[in-house]
Amino acid sequence: MDEQKVRRDRNMGANLRVLRRAHKLSQEKLCAELQRRGCDIGRTAYAKYESGELNIRASVLIELRKIYQCSYDDFFAGLDGEEKGERHT
């Protein structure tokens, strides 16, 4: 089986890191909480979400929103380019 390459897209990793740090959680503690909530994820995989090497699963994003008590918009902030003064028409 060939190794599947991750196609580069807009990376929400920085937003994931900011949210995690704002809640004073280590990657290990966050992964333990995600596992408690039924998401089978280890620290290595989560680190790849933050670095943009792995696309985040929707189920993980749903649980992160509950943990952080935030809006989904917080995960996507700045990814459309408009917050940096760029406009797409």
pLDDT band at 9 (very low <50, low <70, confident <90, very high): low
pLDDT at 6 over 80: no
Query: Distance between CA atoms of 73 and 55, rounded to whole angstroms?
Result: 17
Instruction: Give residue-wise pLDDT tens across range 21-52.
Output: 999 999 999 999 999 999 999 999 999 999 98
Entry pTM: 0.78
CATH number of 13-73: 1.10.260.40
Domain boundaries, the chain: 13-73
**What are 57-65's contacts with CB under 8 Å, separation 24+?**
60/34, 63/34, 63/37, 63/38, 63/39, 64/16, 64/19, 64/34
Helix axes 58-68, 27-36, angle to 10 degrees: 110
Instruction: Give residue-wise pLDDT tens across range 74-87.
Output: 999 988 875 444 44
